[in-house]
Structure 1
Amino acid sequence: MLDLSTFFLGRPLTAPLMNASGVWCNVNGQLHALAESEAGAMVTKSCTLLRRDGNPEPRYHTLSMGSINSMGLPNEGHQYYLDYAERHDYENKPLFFSVAGLTLDDNLTIVAQIQDAYTPALLELNLSCPNVPGKAQIGYDFDALDVILAEISSAYSRPFGVKLPPYFDTAHFDEVADILNRYEKVNFITCINSIGNGLMIDMDSETVLIKPKQGFGGIGGEYVLPTALANVNAFHSRCPKKSIIGCGGVSTGEHVFMHLLAGASLVQVGTALYEQGPEIFVRLKTELATIMQEKGYKTIREFQGKLKTL
């Protein structure tokens, strides 16, 4: 019998699929839909200390192979998601709690309240927010990355994970992995966030497609698949004691298989979920099962992380 179940940090999951933070997880109704979906796990919207409206509309636009967005971290504030986390049915599926405080102090305040709530939610520290005007990505400031990991590791008693921006240089893979490996409490790495500061143009009107940041925004969807797979594989090989969550370019079962083969233990769906809704998980599971059957694999463990080189 074909088995799509898997384990993440020792927790059994019915499938290796989940949403990407920011997609279908902003409000309780969306979170409930994810909880009822065929996803094996789910993550909240990356939250700030207080509620944010985000950037002005239009701030998202569909492209032929993905999307461009500059959302600006719209969210209901950390307490809203903490209230949800305290009600979530963890027997049904694990919940990741994504945090993107605008300052170190904000992050420490939110993390302390998550810890005090005693929920089983898994903390994901989002260190890659490319679409907040005036705010640089922590993931590209290696000194700041080291500092925040040290502070969170000291303040938070449980294991946690980080969401990273895409990296494009082998030296950066090495340097970031060296920093991450210093912190035993960093148990998982989510990569990648969207590729920041892309630009697309409407040929008819000769204008940019989104309003914030003069049209510059994060690129998602199939455009980013090769970059996402490279980052997944790079950190899988460099951080062998940490689990990898793959994110980027996933819209088919084949894409899911590629992420798992490259080293991901879980695979997030972003742009395609935004466009198609939680029903997409049914199709992705079916397509993944078909590929596994054709290749003679009965479990994910038989091929996960076993990418071959020439």
Structure 2
Amino acid sequence: MISTATKIADFNFGNCLMNAAGVYCMTREELAEIEASAAGSFVTKTATLEARTGNPEPRYADTHLGSINSMGLPNKGFNYYLDYVTELQKQADTKNHFLSLVGMSQKETHTILKQVQASDYQGLVELNLSCPNVPGKPQIAYDFETTEEILSQVFSYYKKPLGVKLPPYFDIVHFDQAAAVFNTFPLAFVNCINSIGNGLVVDDEAVVIKPKNGFGGIGGDYVKPTALANVHAFYQRLNPSIQIIGTGGVKSGRDAFEHILCGASMVQIGTALHQEGPAIFERITKELKDIMADKGYETLEDFRGQLKYMN
């Protein structure tokens, strides 16, 4: 019996596939569609303390090899999502979920997380250290001192399962430095990667999105090699207790297989989900199971992290 079931911390998931934060997760209605699909879980839209309208439109565009976006963290405020996942966890047949959060300042991040700590929510939280599309705000995870400072403060009061969403790193020394920081904390997971920040797509003679004069995060086929590199680099470096969620360039069972082969315990789908809709989870699950059957694998653990190198 071939299974794509997986586990993050003490949470079981019937399928390793789920949405990426930012796609099919703005409203309860969209989240309910993911909940009803073949996905093993959903993650909510990265939420701030107060609701945000985000950047001016058009702020997303499909491209030949993926997508570009500069959303600017539009969301309905963290209480909207916290209330929903807390309601769902009371249902007998519910899946386990991820609540994605970030403050517009360090103080706001702590305000949000302290409220989640005091709430009835018992699921996983994803602290987004990688939002690349808020004008004037740098990506937190590229500043290792600030990242260490924030996590030190967070874990002084936050005792529920927590992981971090990361931007892509591009240098081996940065993998080393980031892992050294993360290994000092009881993180449940790291999520690699958010979009590659500040790409530029040109159509004829013009940019294709309005914010930041066309600069935006790149997703889809463009980013899969970078995503796989980040997944595998952290699989090699992180404590075994810190699991990895692979995100980037997944539109087929083969793509999901490669993420798991590189060390991912779960796989998120963003651009392709936006383009195809929640039915994509059933298709990719079947394709992944077909690959596993061809190779004689029955569970993800049979091949997770078993990437082969050349002699």
For 1:99, which of 98, 101, 114 is the aligned residue?
101
Query: What displacement does 1:15 show?
Result: 0.8
1:200-211 alignment, distance < 5 Å:
200-203=201-204, 206-211=205-210
Q: Which runs of 5+ in 2 are unaligned?
A: none
1:29 alignment partner, SS class: helix
Deviating more after overlay: 294-303 vs 264-273: 294-303
Partner of 1:56: 56
Tell me, in whole angstroms, the C-alpha distance in 2 between the residues paired with 1:14 and 1:216. 38
Query: What displacement does 1:10 show?
Result: 3.0
Tell me, in whole angstroms, the C-alpha distance in 2 between the residues paired with 1:172 and 1:32. 38
Amino acid in structure 1 at the alignment position of 2:218:
I
Contact 1:264 1:305 in 2 (8 A): yes
Tell me, in whole angstroms, the C-alpha distance in 1 between the residues paired with 2:134 and 2:216. 10
Partner of 2:195: 194
Deviations 1:284-303 (A, max 9, x none): 00100111111111111100
Deviations 1:114-146 (A, max 9, x none): 111121221110000000001010011111111
Contact 2:190 2:243 in 1 (8 A): yes
Query: Does structure 1 residue 246 correspond to structure 2 residue 246?
Result: yes
Partner of 2:122: 120
Contact 2:12 2:96 in 1 (8 A): no
Contact 1:190 1:244 in 2 (8 A): yes
1:21 alignment partner, SS class: coil
Query: What displacement does 1:159 show?
Result: 2.8
Contact 1:100 1:126 in 2 (8 A): yes
Query: Does structure 1 residue 19 correspond to structure 2 residue 2?
Result: no
Contact 1:70 1:212 in 2 (8 A): yes
Amino acid in structure 1 at the alignment position of 2:291:
I
Amino acid in structure 2 at the alignment position of 1:178:
A
Tell me, in whole angstroms, the C-alpha distance in 1 between the residues paired with 2:6 and 2:75. 30
TM-score, normalised by the number of residues in structure 1: 0.97
Tell me, in whole angstroms, the C-alpha distance in 2 between the residues paired with 1:67 and 1:7. 30
Query: Does structure 1 residue 178 correspond to structure 2 residue 180?
Result: yes
Tell me, in whole angstroms, the C-alpha distance in 2 between the residues paired with 1:269 and 1:10. 23
Partner of 1:108: 110
Partner of 2:259: 259
Deviations 1:55-82 (A, max 9, x none): 0000000011100000000000011111
For 1:135, which of 127, 134, 137 is the aligned residue?
137
Partner of 1:46: 46
Q: Which runs of 5+ in 1 are unaligned?
A: none
Partner of 2:234: 235
Query: What displacement does 1:228 show?
Result: 0.1
Deviations 1:190-221 (A, max 9, x none): 01000000001011xx1111000000000000
RMSD: 1.0
1:190 alignment partner, SS class: strand
Tell me, in whole angstroms, the C-alpha distance in 2 between the residues paired with 1:181 and 1:301. 22
Deviations 1:210-262 (A, max 9, x none): 00000000000011000000000000110032100000000000000000000
Query: What displacement does 1:6 show?
Result: 2.0
Query: What displacement does 1:40 show?
Result: 0.6
Query: What displacement does 1:155 show?
Result: 2.0
Query: What displacement does 1:85 show?
Result: 1.6
Query: What displacement does 1:151 show?
Result: 0.9
Contact 1:108 1:155 in 2 (8 A): no
Question: How many residues align structurally?
Answer: 307
